[in-house]
Structure 1
Amino acid sequence: MTGTIGSGEPMQQNDRYVVQEDNSKSNDAVGTFMGWTMVAIAGIAAVAYAFQTVTGWYYATLNWFYAVWQYFAGFWPF
């Protein structure tokens, strides 16, 4: 196959081949590892989300109790 590419130089056909061995056992292991890694990351993200939610509820509850306490303390005659 000969021809020219943009620069005007002749294009030569190279008889180079990529040899790929069938290593399905390694491919399966890598795929399994990547899958479990994604599951682990999703699990960590779910735990982080749950932690943030619970701590948010905790601080919101503390603020609400503090506001209620201040409201009732306003009725204290001293």
Structure 2
Amino acid sequence: MKTRLWISAAAAASLMTLVGCAGTGPNQQLGVAGGAVGGALIGNAIGGSTAATVGGAAIGGLVGNEVGRNADQRNQQRSYYPNNGPRY
């Protein structure tokens, strides 16, 4: 039963990661990935359960998304992306 739960959680996380990164900037993608990993580690350390790990990954991914998106917008305004990169 535990193996099936881990496989389902990994599949759901992979699907959300692939869908969530479409049309985003480089800092936003790194922010989501780093935030999800960090949130999962912290959630597991605090809660010690699968639900806490998945919840921590979700919260960390959202926070990382916002931080990365703000960095991409700031870089766009400063013309760090002259010909390519995110378009807002």
**TM-score (ref. length: structure 1):** 0.38
Greater radius of gyration (CA): 1
More relative contact order in 1 or in 2 (CA 8 Å, sep 6+)? 2
Greater helix proportion: 2
State the TM-score, normalized to the length of structure 2: 0.34
